[in-house]
Amino acid sequence: MAYAAKFGRTHPTLLIGFSLAPPLWLLLLAIDPHDHGGQFVVALLLLFSATPALIVMAIVYIRRARRSAGYALRVDADGVYFGAHEEAEPRLFTWDEVSALVLFTRRTLVLRGIVRCVGLRLHPYSQDSPERHLADLREAQQREDLEEAERADIQRLIDQLSQGQLEMAVSCHAEARGWRYRSDALRRSFETHAPGVPVAVYSDKAYWDLVGWRAGRDKLAGILETVELRKWR
């Protein structure tokens, strides 16, 4: 049984609707003969601040949906398709890459809300696995062109990547923004197409253990870039 979650139209529609509020407010104030100086200034500020931001956000939602044919997430015989991939273009992960489905949440700073997330744990040999990242760290640490501070930074990254993180970490994930998924239907689809693939569920308290290792990957990339640039000085 295939499962698909599509991007909704509610988010971009609301964003576009709210973006039209300031210009309409200005129009009404211009028509009204009474003095509304304070309101006019507020509406003008909103027009040049909130309106462009809301329009840009709506365009991002629409473009994201179009480039993935409207699919935020799809599970079928071919594998798991992420149209709402947080860090890259839409991608299909074949079943021989996937070692686990991970459902978790992230707590937001705004209104202390919760965002639901769908993550995939890939096999250790995958390019995007935390195990591969650990191997890259150890390989980089052996380079002779590192400065002592850089070598120490890499050692700290190795120490931070504990065994517990290796076992929990997700290779990629998608946040359910502008779309929704049904956990039960998603589980059933996994049981149908990949009965040997486990499903793990975590709360928002485990968020950093799940995704934090990717910050270390970016840190390593920055260190190696600095080393390469130093050769040209």
State the DSSP H helix or E strand holding residue 91, giving kind and residue range, or none if neither. strand 91-94
Residue pair 25/91 in contact by the 8 Å Cβ criterion: no
CA distances (Å), origin 224, targets 1, 121, 141, 211? 45, 26, 10, 21
**What pLDDT shows up at residue 96?**
92
Residue pair 63/12 in contact by the 8 Å Cβ criterion: no
pLDDT in tens, 149-183: 999 999 999 988 876 678 788 998 988 877 888 99
Cα angle 187, 201, 209 (rounded to 5 degrees) comes to: 140
Q: Which residue has the higher pLDDT, 135 or 232?
A: 135
State the DSSP H helix or E strand holding residue 199, giving kind and residue range, or none if neither. strand 199-201
pLDDT in tens, 41-90: 454 545 455 555 555 565 566 566 555 566 788 899 999 988 865 556 78
Torsion angle, CA of 186/187/191/194, rounded to 10 degrees?
60
Count of CA atoms in the C-beta half-sphere (13 A) of 29: 16
**Rounded Cα gap, residues 181 and 119, in angstroms:** 12
Q: 202 phi and psi, to 5 degrees?
A: -135, 155
Q: In 97-180, which ranges are continuous DSSP H helix?
A: 130-141, 148-160, 163-168
Residue indicated by tokens 């290796």 = 166
**What pLDDT shows up at residue 180?**
84
**Rounded Cα gap, residues 37 and 29, in angstroms:** 9
pLDDT in tens, 174-229: 888 778 889 999 999 999 999 989 999 998 888 988 998 988 999 999 999 999 98
* Statement: residue 141 has pLDDT above 90: yes
* Statement: residue 35 has pLDDT above 60: no
